[in-house]
Amino acid sequence: MHRRRSKGMVAAVVATSVVLVSLGAVTPATAASQKTLPEQLTAKVTTDGVYRHLRAFQRIADTNGGNRAAGTSGYQKSVDYVVNALTRAGFNVSTPEFSYSSTTVKTAQATFDGTVYPVGVLTGSGNSAPGGTQAKLSIAAANGCAAQDYPASVQNSIVLIQRGACNFSQKRDLATAAGAVGAVIYNNVPGSFSGTLGSAQVSGIPVAAISQAEGEAASAKPGSQVSLDIQIEEKQVVTQNVIAETRTGRVDNVVMAGAHLDGVPAGPGMNDNGSGSAALLETALQLGGSPKTENAVRFAWWGAEELGLLGSFDYVGNLTFEQQLDIALYMNFDMIGSPNAGYFVNGDNPDPNAQEPLGSKSIAKVFADYMQSAKGVVPEKGPLGGGTDHVPFARAGIASAGLFTGVNNLMSEEQAKKWGGQANQPYDPNYHQRGDNLNNINRTAIGVNSSTMAWGVGTFAMDTAEVNGIPPREQRANAQRSLMRSPGGAEAFPVNDPSRGRTPVS
């Protein structure tokens, strides 16, 4: 039976509801809304959500030649996947194009005393003469890192140089200055190796890489006739970055977060850098295209990072100085799921004379404090370094920091005790290898770093005062109200004062 309520009963119910609200009765929806944006975002960004994107990247690689390297269908499919997801989430999405020089090695071999060895080619090597460059073999002293390491016999020779102590381009330049017509660099540890001369363009003398055993055997025969045959085909490739920006927040104080989307040709590139790309995508999707934020948030997935940070350099290089000033800070996420994970926060250089951009330490502190307090992980803070996409931002003076779990160098015993890893083993034994697949991802590390990323994005989306001195709107409003309530406050800036905002001239 349906009973009718009297007016008095209805009034009593309403009054009771008002009392409950005034006493702070909290529904689940109300409780969620009372959380800060960083708290909301870290709750929404889950390891399962990140793994869904990692599975997508793995399947894209599996169905596109086994990799997602720049200039391949695997990279383009990765771009399409990210763009479609961001568009559905309501972001302003763009895919600015840039071009670069791509190389394909057609021939790579060296002949020592009639024995032909296949060799590695260092990226940026020049071509040999058609059919190979023939010359006598000379030997550089020490590691070939100083002019005196190249004797007169290097003139018109192919010089053999041991790896180590300085970068490959320095060895190449010194060999060229000494008159060498080619260079062969051999490993200083067992096995073969690969590397770059610092540019993707084919230029200079041909430079090859051989194993330690092959190099030591060749070094016993100075003056013997050798041939170095390196033939590289070069072409221009057009590719894309992906840029997505919220439709809300200040556009003159933009918070940027980025990760490189491309991998290397050797494998699927799940840790390097599907891990950073997947976590960044999940963070963006959970934030949404029109969040209630103080500052606009701009997410970036960079192309051709593995070829020399090409996408991020092109992006920053095409911004005017005023557009660069609109960027409050940049956060970078490159390799955050290494199987034997270290926990590193880049952007806090202990050297007081370091030239890292002002505000970088403040970003690093937000990351490190959250990781320790919320996740119980004590990270190691260090300098930015020069190997990933924060470089062009830092060079432009933009405060920068990032998260990182390590490449193929070894974890120390102290770190293993602190983080629960394996001492004297690489952080990522599959770095730049075929084995960098979904099984190469450390789920715990992804969880820790994804949450830390979400916390950082949510924090700075609301407040960058610690980085660049710009407080959030509410804080500015409170300060203004306080000023207006103070004695003489209303008169301090009279509305019709023609000198308002100007510095008095004495």
**pLDDT of 31:** 55
Burial class (CB in 10 A: 0-12, 13-18, 19+), 72: buried
**pLDDT of 473:** 81
Identify the residue with better confidence: 44 or 192: 44
Cis peptide before 273 (omega within 30 of 0): yes
pLDDT category at 480 given cuts 50, 70, 90 is low
Q: What is the mean pLDDT of residues 76-93?
A: 98
174, 149 Cβ separation under 8 angstroms: yes
Question: Is the pTM above the cut of 0.75?
Answer: yes
Identify the residue with better confidence: 193 or 228: 228
Identify the residue with better confidence: 160 or 387: 160
Provide the 3-class DSSP secondary structure of residue 206. coil
| Res. 50: pLDDT tops 80 | yes
Region of 206 (left: φ > 0; alpha: ψ -120 to 50; beta: rest) is beta
Q: Which residue has the tokens 């058609």?
A: 130
Q: In terms of CATH architecture, what is 37-96+241-468? A: 3-Layer(aba) Sandwich (3.40)
**pLDDT of 137:** 97
**pLDDT of 246:** 98
| Res. 251: pLDDT tops 70 | yes
| Res. 380: pLDDT tops 50 | yes
Give backbone dihedrals phi and psi of 432, rounded to 5 degrees, phi first.
60, 30
Q: In terms of CATH architecture, what is 105-234? A: 3-Layer(bba) Sandwich (3.50)
H-helix or E-strand spanning residue 183 = strand 182-186
| Res. 497: pLDDT tops 50 | no
Q: Give the lowest-confidence range in 193-207, 354-368, 406-420, 448-462.
A: 193-207
Q: Give Rg (Cα) of the chain.
A: 29
Distance CA 229, CA 233 (A): 13
Identify the residue with better confidence: 23 or 383: 383
DSSP per position, 387-446: SSTTHHHHHTT--EEEEE---SSBPPHHHHHHHT--TTSBS-TTTTSTT-SGGG--HHHH
**pLDDT of 33:** 63
pLDDT in tens, 333-351: 999 999 999 999 999 999 8
- Here the tokens at position 465 are 């005062």
SS3 assignment for 312-376:
HHHHHHCCCHHHHHCEEEEEEECCCCCCCCCCEEECCCCCCCCCCCCCHHHHHHHHHHHHHHHHC
| Res. 361: pLDDT tops 70 | yes
Could you tell me which of 316, 413, 310 has the C-alpha nearest to residue 98? 310
Mean residue pLDDT of the chain comes to 89
**pLDDT of 13:** 38
| Res. 148: pLDDT tops 70 | yes
Distance CA 368, CA 381 (A): 8
| Res. 71: pLDDT tops 50 | yes
Distance CA 230, CA 88 (A): 48
**Other Cβ atoms within 10 Å of 2 Cβ, number:** 3
Catalytic residue (one of 282, 305, 306, 466): 305
Q: Give the lowest-confidence range in 9-13, 334-338, 366-370, 390-394.
A: 9-13
| Res. 26: pLDDT tops 90 | no
pLDDT in tens, 315-335: 999 999 999 999 999 999 999
Residue type (1 letter), 435: G
| Res. 484: pLDDT tops 80 | no
Q: What percent of the chain has pLDDT over 70?
A: 89
466 part of the active site: no
**pLDDT of 200:** 77
**Structural domain spans, the chain:** 37-96+241-468, 105-234
| Res. 461: pLDDT tops 90 | yes
Residue type (1 letter), 86: L
pLDDT category at 160 given cuts 50, 70, 90 is very high
| Res. 24: pLDDT tops 80 | no
pLDDT category at 485 given cuts 50, 70, 90 is low
| Res. 481: pLDDT tops 90 | no
| Res. 494: pLDDT tops 50 | no
**pLDDT of 194:** 84
